[in-house]
Amino acid sequence: MDELLKELEGLSIGKVKQNEPLANHTTIKIGGPADLFIEPSSKENLKKLMEFIQEHTLNWRAIGRGSNLLVSDSGIEGVVIKLGPGLDTLKIEEEKVTAGGGHSLVSLATLVSKQGLSGMEFAGGIPGSVGGAVYMNAGAHRSDVSKILKKALVLFEDGKLEWLTNKEMEFSYRSSVLQKKRPGVVVEAVFQLEKGDREKITAEIKKNKDYRKETQPWNFPCAGSIFRNPLPEYAGKLIEKAGLKGHSVGGAKISEMHGNFIVNTGNATAQDVLALVQHVKDTIYDLYQIQMETEVEIIGRK
């Protein structure tokens, strides 16, 4: 690992850290160390990094702002790539918006609303990056990324950059082609928005942000929605109906504010969260014969 570290530092691709605790980079504040943690400083350096990863046959994983993520207590083997400064570019051309994968989604939604551009109101309050939002087809308030994405620039494992159209992204509920079929990193995204009434758009963004503050426990470390909605049912409602709000395992607790959120009360481990997730799955199946599936991504060493 020391040799790899020296070689990486010689490439001058950005910040490189060894054994970096991922609890520092997830919104739930849980996660063991990454063997190598790298923040590339540009698109070119990200490409260079991917070529290095392939040359040395290393495992890799990209993260943005660490929401919707549960990292194991044992951490992650190989390289964790964090998209941040240098990959948070923004260009607005009339109704077309091009944003870097490392750009904050909620910040982007606010910025475009002030320009009188409509289409991203649903993202008011979603605490992730543009890249992560495209990767998982993030959504809320009856809309999602698939409704506005024109195309995405993706860096694949072979080091090639390719523009994928909306159709090629194969979007479905909280999912895209990048999750299973074609692992890649969303470097940039082009959104097609519409001109609208600036006051109405900014009011809608504020309403969505306020709704999240009032109904979701973001005053505690959490990862966002833990379970996918087993439509036509809603995960939070099922969990509440089952009397599971407030149930805890170790430092992990089902929020009393929203049943589909697990909060870290201060010293939770990934094992605590996983035990609580399993308890919810078993209870909901026993009561309603519904199989609950996680929306939060669970990654890292077993």
Q: What is the structure's pLDDT at 6?
A: 86
Helix, strand, coil share (%) of the chain residues, nearest 5: 30, 30, 40
The structural domains of the chain, ordered by start, are 2-82 (3.30.43.10), 90-215 (3.30.465.10), 235-299 (3.90.78.10)
Q: Shortest CA distance to 155 belongs to which of 50, 16, 262?
A: 50
Place of tokens 């159709």: 167
Task: State residue 29 phi and psi, 5-degree precision.
Answer: 60, 40
Burial class (CB in 10 A: 0-12, 13-18, 19+), 297: middle
pLDDT tens series, the chain, 302 aa: 778 888 888 889 999 999 999 999 999 999 999 999 999 999 999 999 999 999 999 999 999 899 999 999 999 999 999 999 999 999 999 999 999 999 999 999 999 999 999 999 999 888 889 999 999 999 988 899 999 999 999 999 999 999 999 999 999 988 999 988 899 999 999 999 999 999 999 999 999 889 888 999 988 999 999 999 998 999 999 999 999 999 999 999 999 999 999 999 999 999 999 999 999 999 999 999 999 999 999 999 98
Judged by DSSP in three states, 29 sits in coil
| Cα Rg of the chain, angstroms | 19
> Quick one: tokens of 29?
């504040």
Cβ atoms of residues 229 and 141 within 8 Å: no
| Distance of alpha carbon 153 from alpha carbon 151, whole angstroms | 7
Active site residues: 174, 225, 295
Instruction: Please report the beta strands in the chain, taking only residues with DSSP state E, as ranges in sequence order.
Output: 14-21, 33-40, 60-63, 69-71, 76-82, 90-93, 96-100, 117-118, 139-140, 143-144, 149-156, 161-165, 184-192, 194-195, 248-249, 252-254, 262-264, 297-299
Global pTM reads 0.91
Which residues contact residue 24 at a Cβ distance below 8 angstroms, ignoring those fewer than 6 apart?
A: none
Cβ atoms of residues 137 and 114 within 8 Å: no
